[in-house]
Structure 1
Amino acid sequence: MQIGSWITLNNISVAELMADAGFDWLCIDMEHTATDYFEAQQMMIAIQAKGIPVYVRVGSNDPLIIKRVLDAGADGIIVPSVNSKSDAERAISAVKYPPIGTRGVGLARAQGYGFNFDNYRDVIAPKVKLIVQIEHINAIDELDDILSLEGVDGSFIGPYDLSGSLGKPGQYNDEDVMAAIERYELTAKKYNKWIGFHVVPPDYKLVEEKQAKGYNFIAFSFDAYFMGHAIREQLKNIKN
């Protein structure tokens, strides 16, 4: 099992602290944060200097965004709202160089600023991971077609948006929502690929519960929540 976490605060010191904590991987979130490309690259440098693989959740399934993040040196991409086989194929095409995909060739940090392109193309780029987020009931309906694609290395269930696509946002105990998540789990286990879930509360027991259900690519909370939770807990103890 791989346990990582989410970075939402665009700060190099935070990235270093998280990288020193012992996670197997870290993900820089560019979908729901104010982090820009330059800040993301600076945090990648800090994290990778600690020997930790770094993923980036991009803002959308956009070839330009994916290309810029990969050229900055990301070890993997997490693409939100992959709702169909064609969406997954679009993501694969953006991640892979020709003849497999359509990724444009740049000579940036990932390629050693032009001095390491051959090694990047032949050795590093083929190892870049693509994780697709399953966040809509349409994605559940097409999950076999999505996960069977070569080039998709794993998936991440998005229960918030998934419940919303059923018209029941945040109602995780609803029968339809629970059934959709169960369909995801049963289908994903058929493939030798990562099965992802983001456990937001910083409670290790919840991670163990997901591991027992077959999840093997688990994001454990995120930087701001870790900090906020610790502050609140300690202040509560003082005031009590």
Structure 2
Amino acid sequence: MKNIKKRLKDRKTAIGSWITIPDPIIVEMMAKSKFDWLAVDLEHSAISISSLQNIIRIIDLSGVFPMVRLTSNDSDQIKRVMDAGAMGIIIPMIKNAKDVKKAINSIYYPPKGSRSVGLARAQDYGEGLQGYLTKLKSQAVIIIQIEHIDAVDNLEEIFSIKGIDGYLIGPNDLSASMGLPGEINHPRVKRKINYINKKAKEMNVSGGQHIIEADIKELKKALNSGTNFIGYSLDIKLFEKALREFKER
């Protein structure tokens, strides 16, 4: 398994994708597709916490870095997904430095944070707690989503917080917060996205954007732009592309 935390610190590329279908065959196929990371999406799927642990298990045992996108910046949910074996979290709707500090506090144990100590899968059911503490320090990844105009307005203070490993732009929600829902190619939205990436480079923060469509040309464009944390499509869009190509034959 690649150490995504170290890759982001060294400004190296980490390409992943998203799991929204809680089916072991789909997850296993995705995990064998040479992604650096896979994120289970709790925000926009019907995946339950009980299904989540089995999905993480498949990703983990396939040698891929397991992440979870939360439904919100919720301390209890962070604790549960980390205990289930996630090594990284993607936090939606970050708007200010206070939000970032809350997430960091929730993922780590005292004295760095306030997370309650459990003996679940992550801690090898009680037999590997000390090893997990070491692993948490060296590998846990916190990705913040910049997807609201408030976050753009507070970008410098957000990127100044030590403890985040990268950012991910959410173009659809960003456009909606600007009164332009879905208009991700609108000049105003594109200017904000360019500003986010430019400020990140200035402040040496890793990050990038979720490429929703399964389009290799867009992936190459993102890589050439200098961004290094890239979400490439998601399970349902990869499936949808194959079906669309069949229908349009």
Structure-2-length-normalised TM-score: 0.92
Residue correspondence of structure 1 range 82-231 to structure 2 within 5 A: 82-231=94-243
- Once residues 85 and 162 of structure 1 are traced to their aligned partners in structure 2, the CA distance between those partners, rounded to angstroms, is 18
- Paired position in structure 2 for 1:236: 248
One-letter amino acid of the counterpart of residue 85, structure 2: G
CA-CA distance at 1:8 after TM superposition: 0.6
- Paired position in structure 1 for 2:16: 4
One-letter amino acid of the counterpart of residue 157, structure 1: I
One-letter amino acid of the counterpart of residue 103, structure 2: A
Gaps of 5+ in 2: 1-12
User: Does structure 1 residue 66 correspond to structure 2 residue 78?
Assistant: yes
User: Does structure 1 residue 17 correspond to structure 2 residue 51?
Assistant: no
Of 137-146 and 66-75, more deviation after overlay is shown by 137-146
Question: How far does the alpha carbon of each residue in 1:60-109 deviate from its partner, in whole angstroms, 9 at most, with x for none?
Answer: 10000000000001010000000100011111111111111111111100
Answer whether contact 1:134 1:155 (CA < 8 A) is retained. yes
Q: 1:95 to 1:126 in 2, by over 3 A?
A: farther
User: Does structure 1 residue 34 correspond to structure 2 residue 46?
Assistant: yes
- Once residues 163 and 119 of structure 2 are traced to their aligned partners in structure 1, the CA distance between those partners, rounded to angstroms, is 23
CA-CA distance at 1:125 after TM superposition: 4.4
Of 211-220 and 123-132, more deviation after overlay is shown by 123-132
One-letter amino acid of the counterpart of residue 188, structure 1: A
Answer whether contact 1:189 1:195 (CA < 8 A) is retained. no
One-letter amino acid of the counterpart of residue 199, structure 2: T
Question: How far does the alpha carbon of each residue in 1:11-30 deviate from its partner, in whole angstroms, 9 at most, with x for none?
Answer: 11111000011111111000
CA-CA distance at 1:49 after TM superposition: 0.8
The share of aligned pairs that are identical, in percent, is 41
Answer whether contact 1:195 1:214 (CA < 8 A) is retained. no
SS of residue in 2 equivalent to 1:189: helix
- Paired position in structure 2 for 1:56: 68
Gaps of 5+ in 1: none
Question: How far does the alpha carbon of each residue in 1:157-210 deviate from its partner, in whole angstroms, 9 at most, with x for none?
Answer: 011111111111122333321221111011111233321211111111101111
Of 65-74 and 176-185, more deviation after overlay is shown by 176-185
- Once residues 202 and 176 of structure 1 are traced to their aligned partners in structure 2, the CA distance between those partners, rounded to angstroms, is 25
CA-CA distance at 1:53 after TM superposition: 0.3
One-letter amino acid of the counterpart of residue 131, structure 2: N
Answer whether contact 1:136 1:165 (CA < 8 A) is retained. yes
- Once residues 236 and 221 of structure 2 are traced to their aligned partners in structure 1, the CA distance between those partners, rounded to angstroms, is 23
Structure-1-length-normalised TM-score: 0.95
SS of residue in 1 equivalent to 2:142: strand
